[in-house]
Amino acid sequence: MNKKLKLKSLSVIAILFLITAVSLVPFLWMISTSLKNSSALMAVPIEWIPKKVSFDSFVKVLKELPFLKSLMNSVAITLGSTILTLVSSSLAAFIFAKFEFKFKNLIFILFLASMMVPIQVTGIPIFIILTKLGLNNSFIGVIAPSIFNVFAIFLLRQYMKNISNEFIEAALIDGANLFQVYLKIIVPMSLVPLTTLFVINFMSYWNDYFWPLIILTDPNKVTLPVLLSKLNTQYATEYNTLMAGSLVSMTPILVVYTFAQKYFIRGIQEGGIK
């Protein structure tokens, strides 16, 4: 029996290793391409390991393109959107989890139903509203729609429902108001799902291309995905420069995940159990 279990475990490990290796192929190709010069891009057979390593594409990204400016734009928009999502979603989740009011379940069902509507459908009315408010071509116009994130509300609500009401009742008896209960009890006890959502939303907003492309028309305000897309033109594509820029743009995501991976994995596990 033990031999069968060991054989089964080894088989599972081998399959997972194979899947991991296959999934890494595009990433390895991206690294290889970023280190090639223009003449080696279309070489046949493909040079997985460049015969002549060149860092010209990285130099071009950092010197010839407004890369650092776009990087700072992406950081500002991503952090602003992520923080706004966490604050608004945690407040809404607190209300749905711990308060009773008329049509509560119906409103929550409508919230969940809105997840089925893609941004391409709601983009036009949101764009019209932001334009009338004078928020077009501004960072606020890009950040503002992140105030409504149904998935974040759903995940936090499921977690907060498991927080004992005795903590809230004790705080209210001690004279705390509802906002103090939220800030000093609910938020600290929901640190794990909040960290998980921070990582998920940071990656989502960082890689977002559609919304910044629509709202931002000033070249000095574009984000990294929009800037890198300009390297892919109708008549030619600088693949080595594009891959170099993509690699550099991945750095903030890797840094965030490195510091938050402990809470991220724990949040996914606990969320699945609950």
CATH number, domain at 161? 1.10.3720.10
Q: Do residues 3 and 82 both lie within one domain? A: no
- The domain boundary residue, chosen from 33, 54, 75: 54
Q: Do residues 93 and 177 both lie within one domain? A: yes
| 266 CB-near residues (< 8 Å, 6+ apart) | 192, 196
- If one counts the domains in the chain, the total is 2
- The domain boundary residue, chosen from 29, 54, 79: 54
Q: Do residues 219 and 168 both lie within one domain? A: yes
Q: Do residues 152 and 217 both lie within one domain? A: yes
Q: Do residues 72 and 122 both lie within one domain? A: yes
Q: Do residues 141 and 199 both lie within one domain? A: yes
Q: At 185, list the tokens.
A: 């009890």
Per-residue pLDDT of the chain (274 residues; tens, 9 = 90+): 567 777 778 888 889 889 988 888 888 888 888 888 777 777 667 777 787 888 888 888 888 788 888 889 999 999 999 999 999 999 999 999 888 888 888 888 888 888 888 877 888 888 899 889 888 889 999 999 998 888 899 889 988 888 888 888 888 888 888 888 888 888 888 888 888 888 889 988 998 888 898 898 888 889 988 888 877 765 566 778 888 888 888 888 888 777 766 666 555 555 444 4
* pTM, two decimal places: 0.81
Please tell me the distance from the alpha carbon of residue 109 to that of residue 171, in angstroms, as a whole number.
30
Structural domain boundaries, residue 44: 1-54
* Nearest C-alpha neighbor of 57 from the set 259, 246, 250, 253: 246
Please tell me the distance from the alpha carbon of residue 94 to that of residue 87, in angstroms, as a whole number.
11
Q: Do residues 31 and 110 both lie within one domain? A: no
